[in-house]
A and B are shown apart, each in its own frame.
Chain A
Amino acid sequence: MPDPGKTFTPPFEFWTGTIHSLRFIQGSIMRTPLAHRLIALTASLLALAATAPVVQAQEGAVVTGKVTNPQGQPIEGASVLISSLNAGTATTTAGIYTFRVGTRNITGRAVSITARRIGFSPVTKQITLVSGNQQVDFVLAADITRLNEVVTTGVAGATLLKNTTISITKISADQINNVPASDPISALAGKVPGAVVMSTNGAPGQVAAIQLRGATNLGLGNNSPLVVIDGVIATNGMAGISAADIVSIEILKGAASANTYGSQAANGVIAITTDRGKSLAEGKLAITGRTELGQSSVGHYISLMEHHPYVLAADGSIALNSGGNRIIKPDHYADNPFPSTGDNQFRNQLQTWLPNRSYESDYVSMGYRQDKTNFFSSFSRAVDPGILPLVQGARNQNVRLNVDQTVTAKFDLSASLLYGHSTNDGAQTGTGVFFALLQSPPDLNLERPNGPNDPVRFDPDMPKSFAANDRGNPLYGLANTANVNENQRVLGSFTARFRPTTWLNLDGSYGADHSSDYNTGLTNRGYLNDTGIPGAGTLNAYTGKDFSTNIQLNSTATHDFGGLSSTTRLTYLAEQDDFQSFQTSGRKFNVGGVPTFDAMDPTTLASSSGQQTIRANDFYITQGFNYKDRYLAQLVGRRDGSSLFGTEARWKNFFGLSGAWRVTQDFNIPGFQELKLRYAVGTAGLRPQFGDQYETYTVGAGTISKNTVGNPDLQPAVQRETEGGISGTFLSRFDGEIVSSERRTVGAFLNVPLSVALTGGFSSQVQNAATIAGKTLEGSLNARVIQGHDLNYNFTVTASRTRQHIDQLGAPPFQVGSGSQGQGIFYYRQGEDMGVIYGTRFDTKVSQLLDNPANAGVSIDSLKKVYSVNDLGYVVKTASIGLPSETPVAYVDTKGNSNVKIMEGQPDFVWGLANTVHYKGFTLYGLLDGSKGGQIYNFSKQWMFQDLRSGDIDQSGKATGTKHAYDLYTNGFYNALDADSYFVENGTYAKLRELSVSYDLGTHFISQIGLGNTIRGAKISLIGRNLHTWTKYTGMDPEAASNGDPNLRLDGFRYPTFRQVAGQIQLDF
């Protein structure tokens, strides 16, 4: 480690090593099918670098100065840069900066020097460089609007937010780090207008789903945005990315803004920039350590049945008949209490078996910047068992190294490397365990279900009189199964930038993303089945390996035509993605205690494998115009070729056009410091999935059978989006933006079902058969409410309303599934909204019976003689109320159709509200987010009806005459598990998602306790996640969706998002 007190000059070996690294990477590329082409590009890039004049900074000019806030306090970590010369540095803790410019650049012409720091408005000054020292000081004012921040995603060149023509949301580290999220997507919840962030599987280690301005597909493909990390496309998403490393996240929401990403950007783009040590004070090693210790717990328990409909024995236990079966009371009312003592006393199995569990995460980072080199390295680890007992949960470790090296004034290099490793033994058991646990009999001790002397802990063979229809003892599997998912990820990139002239930038980058999964499942010999019989043991293993590479070459030219500045960017992008998988399973161990396939009976082994290669070549041009920072425009043209497109449709064009007018540059509008009007239109696409274009036969066991019909005409789905926006800063206190977007995704993919009979055996074909429309109105408002010396309060509110609609469907209406333990119930039909469920709607007014053609000619009066509305609000036969025969009446419309719309999932709007209060060293931060309107289907409850588990069936405490037999619930509302209106619930909720109270100990205090020489800063925090949810929804968590799609608002034994409370300490050295 270099001595932080001395100047660190990168040794020559560093360079040599870099070249070696390059050669290594080059060698790696050669082994790929892209090798011959990529090698030529890499070589030419290196040749360019080698021929670039190497200028050693000798005497030249020394620029120095101080950067302060208006109160005169120094600003640390501000960057001061002459961008045209790529010369600059960052300020020390004292706000001082110094850097040197070579003699060659002292031309007598004025150059721009800019000081900037996140959270402050940048200041640019014109200076003429002279030999020797010259001082340039800056005073930076706080910038709540963030409009002076620079964005780089989807634009021709780095652009100030206030000069953008497209819709970009930028989230900075300070918006993420108050309550560090478990993954970068969760960190966006409530902070990005137009985004719906939903943890569709709350198990630890699972990355949340995000949807930007609505869906683009109908179940085939996904709604996930493209992920770009440090400028390189990350095929394998967010796995292994530590939120703590992030400096900023830029979000492009749809085709109007993300068109530069062409055929893979209709879902938007999330571009993450990680820390590179660029803003560190020169010559000083910065080390930060952070540890968090906390506890996870269930936020909300659902209501369970605490009474039963069985006859009681004299001692209060449940009486059994001669066959050992329980005897149902004649009235069928579930109002007898379970025993309150003894081995068979009532237990709330959820409260008993979903324990509070502790978790921890640790993070350490190290950064350094000196002259021409800056680097940042970090290590993080987390252990999160979640809320299930008997499993370890998610464990992950990540290491990152980012290095930037300036070689000459015209040439610099960047390298990034991430290694992530995670294991999870809870993710694959989550749904099954919750399925069984929610339906566990309440009067059994699941640890010893057959009594205190049951020799088998968590015995799966439970007494049938207690556990009729049981789903097994969920704890036996947790305790005795070793299911482990392991993932390793290596994400690396190398970028070279070359500026041959002041107007031309050339850069090239190579990115490689390797992700490998190794999943194993083991039950040892002797593992008991549900009837208590020991088995011979099973073992299965899956390994999947994905390796994607891409190389991108950019040429960016800028020119100023007397006030009109032009930026032109030409890009070429080549992508290749190779995936291979292999799995083996066996089901009889010849030898116990040796979990290998070698120890298994070879006749029980079975294996399968798969492979795929995807290639793409893309070209695009981005042209930006800026006339005196007033009138702004951008044009994009892109041509994509992909092996995923059908043979007859290999290439597709995309475009973008956008413009903006900064009104306040032309007119003085009272109260407005900034006002911008913006309009953008563009197209972006979605690529088909690998197998979609091919005609396939299924092979297996040496046999062949037909599967899908090939589609040589398969094209990317193309979204065309137009958006208009108005943004501004007003009253020196508020910064707001309103954006309206309209989009149509044409040619969305459908797996169009075919008649197997009529096609001779093929069951489906993937076609560009649907059009999905979406309208979004979104807005955000930042307010600096109080700005005092000691007290600051600001808040940010975001809200959006999205309406999605199926304009065209080139297939019969069809259903998509709930993901687990259920059939497809979401209904896709032409002319229908997204997120809709069709099913049985129970009548709530007697007059609704008149619609049924079977009641034609029947008067309402005669119907009322037979039917009435019971106290639950449903129409039943009056004479049956309270009897086992009481059953709700299904609505039949005037056409005799009983399958009608029962649920609309789309919320009226979603919102987020982030508040930050600083008082002296204290910071109080809270993020509330939620959803208003829209409905949720409580599929878990419907399942729980069949076995008398849901609290709804409990009749205790109800007055005589208002009780209902269990049959009303277990037969009537249960409805054979077909969707019905009883289980449709209001999905409105508000969630206190993040809360933190932190105290910055301050340098004064640290000095006082004698650690001033060691510790630069210290912060202690108390943080909470998902602390409380306000909702009328009766399930565990209204943040529920299935299939990873926020539009499919169905709660089906989902691992709920859980509460975490933690203490955190951070030390800066």
Chain B
Amino acid sequence: MKTSKQLGMLLAAVAVTACNSDLKISDLNAPDTQRAVSNAGDVQTLLGGGIRLWYIQSNNVDPGMAQSVMAQALTSSYGNFGMRFNSAQPRIAYNNSSSAGDGAVANDPWRFNYAVLGQANDGLNALTRGVKIMDGTGADVTDEYQAIGHFLQAASLGNVALIFDKGFIIDDATPIPAPKTFSPYKDVATAALAKFDLAIALSAGKTWQIPDNYFTAINMTAANFGQLNNTMAAEVLAYTPRSQAETDAVDWARVRAYAVKGIDHDFAPIGDYNNWWTDQGTYANTPSWTRVDMRVIHELDPNSPAVFPADCNTPPQATSADSRLASDFIFMKSIPFAPARGCYHFSSWAYGREASYGYDADASTQQIGPYPMIRKAENDLLIAEADVRLGTNLAEAATLINNTRVGRGNLAPVTAGTGAAGLLAAIQYEQDIELMATGPGLEYYNRRRINGLLPQTPLHLPVPAHELETDGLPVYTFGGPTSPDH
């Protein structure tokens, strides 16, 4: 009997234990949709965080570094970030394989831009569902967040249009999962511009101010935000073309209309190393990783060769009438690259306009402080280019060019009398010298649209193999002797 009792007690304890089992456990490390997008504060975090994600990914090394070497702006023989093989001479096709070492070149911008877009759509949908956002004074600032949402839609679709040959056009009205329909880059650019227009309209005449930490510590009023949207819209319009012919066909009046309402000072988010930084800016200013392509040095000093000699003999140190050679560029006696990879990769010149930002600087200054993503000069040059291409105001164009050409370069000024061709050449020169290592992909887009890339350089990246394989579609690529539409 006693044994039975003991056994009974034990079994009872087991039964009690079993009944009390609680196997439902939450993941406290990361929120789910319920926690991420349920109230006004969540939507603010989602959209505000979207700006940071857009900034980080737009300035990521992929595809930025590959684009820079394809444009012969920077040069490097290191295999990292697709630099070595995408700058191979003669050009070879972009390796669009999901197992390729350089796969991130296409995969990262695709993935991150659509992540930003998805986030923007979620935030906008929450606002559409009725979430209202108030500021500290109790005023309804929902339209501010609608503007941010449309900015993120525009910026991410704009990136897709600039980088890839085609993409999905998705917005907050698109059902998820979205239809598997690709649109060509021009249509994607058009969709991006429509979203910029919405953001611009929502910002016009408003008095709200974007919270301090959304664009780092940059003071961003509704007016400033509108300017940023205008400049970026002008960029998408002007930089989407893949050829001189497409450039000629751009609606330059529209470019000008955007640009004249664009930024009036540099857009330069402030790096803090941990949360805000530009990887492209960092590597561009790190002489042990990248150098300035001799094509650019040749522009500064026509006596310097445009390509480093094949025997790896260092040419005489360049000199230039442009004082920026001394202020923005650093002559380095040694070159970290291997002759066996081709001396065309070589250059004795490093870019050093933001040297303290780079990895060769002291760790405590690396990625610290403002780094220009869009210089005012870029916006000025867009206005100037529109002026010249429209043939409406060459004098204004000359003035805008001279801001930096004379202001920083101490070169002879250009005038209306220089003529359209001369002014365009001066614009392209400023784009190469003054805007170096700023806007992501900028050097590449500016060379691409004037047929300035080396033959058989890809004109855009293919949809990454990872996406194509996930969708069950064939993998393709661009560039090199055998791929179509280099």
Q: Assess the B79–A588 pair: CB atoms within 8 A.
A: no
A134 within 8 A of partner (CB):
no
Closest-by-CB residue of B relative to A619 is B18
Contact of A755 among B14, B362, B471 (CB under 8 A): B471
Q: Provide the A597-635 mask, 1 if CB < 8 A to any CB of B, else 0.
A: 000010110100011111111010000000000000000
Contacts of A751-793 to chain B: CB distance below 8 A: 753-763
Contacts of B229-273 to chain A: CB distance below 8 A: 272-273
Residues of A within 8 A of B168 (CB): 757-758
User: Given A574-B17, A694-B30, A464–B336 Cβ distance below 8 Å?
Assistant: yes
Residues of B within 8 A of A533 (CB): 360-362
Q: Assess the A702–B17 pair: CB atoms within 8 A.
A: no
Closest-by-CB residue of A relative to B272 is A603
What's the least CB distance linking A947 to chain B, in Å? 6
Contact of B288 among A465, A531, A572, A691 (CB under 8 A): A531
B339 within 8 A of partner (CB):
yes
Q: Classify the secondary structure of B's interface with A.
A: loop
Q: Number of contacts between A and B (CB, 8 Å)?
A: 302
> How far, in angstroms, from A533 to B365 measured CA to CA in the complex?
13
Can you give 15 contacting A-B residue pairs, CB < 8 Å? A40-B16, A324-B314, A325-B335, A327-B312, A469-B78, A500-B6, A504-B7, A587-B273, A588-B364, A601-B364, A603-B272, A704-B49, A757-B167, A761-B114, A761-B117
Residues of A within 8 A of B176 (CB): 758-760
Contacts of A696-711 to chain B: CB distance below 8 A: 696-707, 710
A719 within 8 A of partner (CB):
no
What's the least CB distance linking B352 to chain A, in Å? 13
What's the least CB distance linking B276 to chain A, in Å? 8
A270 within 8 A of partner (CB):
no
> How far, in angstroms, from A615 to B30 measured CA to CA in the complex?
19
Q: Assess the A642–B23 pair: CB atoms within 8 A.
A: yes
Residues of A within 8 A of B170 (CB): 757-758, 760
Q: Provide the B90-129 mask, 1 if CB < 8 A to any CB of A, else 0.
A: 0000010111111100000011001101110110000000
Closest-by-CB residue of A relative to B343 is A325
A-B contacts besides A619-B18, A758-B177, A823-B103, 13 pairs, CB < 8 Å: A33-B22, A325-B335, A325-B346, A468-B335, A612-B27, A613-B25, A615-B21, A694-B32, A710-B32, A756-B114, A763-B111, A899-B97, A976-B85
Q: Assess the B49–A555 pair: CB atoms within 8 A.
A: no
Closest-by-CB residue of A relative to B178 is A758
Stretch in contact with the other chain, from B374-382, B421-429, B433-441, B462-470: B462-470
What's the least CB distance linking B350 to chain A, in Å? 11
Residues of A within 8 A of B30 (CB): 691, 694, 696-699, 707
Residues of B within 8 A of A615 (CB): 21-23, 25
Contacts of B149-204 to chain A: CB distance below 8 A: 167-168, 170, 176-178, 180
Q: Assess the A976–B25 pair: CB atoms within 8 A.
A: no
Residues of A within 8 A of B137 (CB): none
Residues of B within 8 A of A506 (CB): 6-7, 10
What's the least CB distance linking A438 to chain B, in Å? 16
Contacts of A45-104 to chain B: CB distance below 8 A: 45, 47-48, 51
Q: Assess the A322–B313 pair: CB atoms within 8 A.
A: yes
What's the least CB distance linking A335 to chain B, in Å? 14
Q: Assess the A815–B99 pair: CB atoms within 8 A.
A: yes
Residues of B within 8 A of A707 (CB): 30
Q: Assess the A465–B273 pair: CB atoms within 8 A.
A: no
Q: Could you list which residues of chain A lie within 8 angstroms of chain B, going by C-beta atoms?
A: 33, 36-38, 40-41, 43-45, 47-48, 51, 309, 321-328, 463-465, 468-470, 498, 500-501, 504, 506, 529-531, 533-538, 553, 555, 572, 574, 587-588, 601, 603-604, 606, 610-617, 619, 641-643, 645, 647, 650, 690-691, 694-707, 710, 753-763, 812-815, 822-825, 827, 838-839, 899, 946-948, 966-967, 970, 976-979
Residues of A within 8 A of B118 (CB): 706, 756-757, 759-762
Residues of B within 8 A of A33 (CB): 22
Contact of B14 among A572, A822, A839 (CB under 8 A): A572
> How far, in angstroms, from A703 to B31 measured CA to CA in the complex?
11
Residues of B within 8 A of A647 (CB): 24
Q: Assess the B363–A587 pair: CB atoms within 8 A.
A: yes
Q: Assess the A702–B49 pair: CB atoms within 8 A.
A: yes
> How far, in angstroms, from A575 to B88 measured CA to CA in the complex?
58
Contact of A531 among B85, B360, B363 (CB under 8 A): B360
Residue tally, chain B, CB below 8 Å to A: 99
Q: Assess the A41–B27 pair: CB atoms within 8 A.
A: no
Q: Assess the A701–B99 pair: CB atoms within 8 A.
A: no
Contacts of B325-346 to chain A: CB distance below 8 A: 333-341, 343, 346
Residues of A within 8 A of B84 (CB): 976
Q: Provide the B32-57 mask, 1 if CB < 8 A to any CB of A, else 0.
A: 11011000001001101110110000
Contact of B99 among A555, A588, A824 (CB under 8 A): A824
B77 within 8 A of partner (CB):
yes
> How far, in angstroms, from A535 to B360 measured CA to CA in the complex?
9
Q: Assess the B361–A690 pair: CB atoms within 8 A.
A: no
What's the least CB distance linking B38 to chain A, in Å? 12
User: Given A815-B99, A978-B95, A758–B24 Cβ distance below 8 Å?
Assistant: no
Residues of B within 8 A of A763 (CB): 111, 115
Closest-by-CB residue of A relative to B332 is A464
Q: Assess the B312–A326 pair: CB atoms within 8 A.
A: yes
B321 within 8 A of partner (CB):
no
Q: Assess the A328–B53 pair: CB atoms within 8 A.
A: no
Q: Provide the B1-31 mask, 1 if CB < 8 A to any CB of A, else 0.
A: 0110011011011101110111111011111
> How far, in angstroms, from A493 to B248 measured CA to CA in the complex?
80
Q: Assess the B21–A617 pair: CB atoms within 8 A.
A: yes
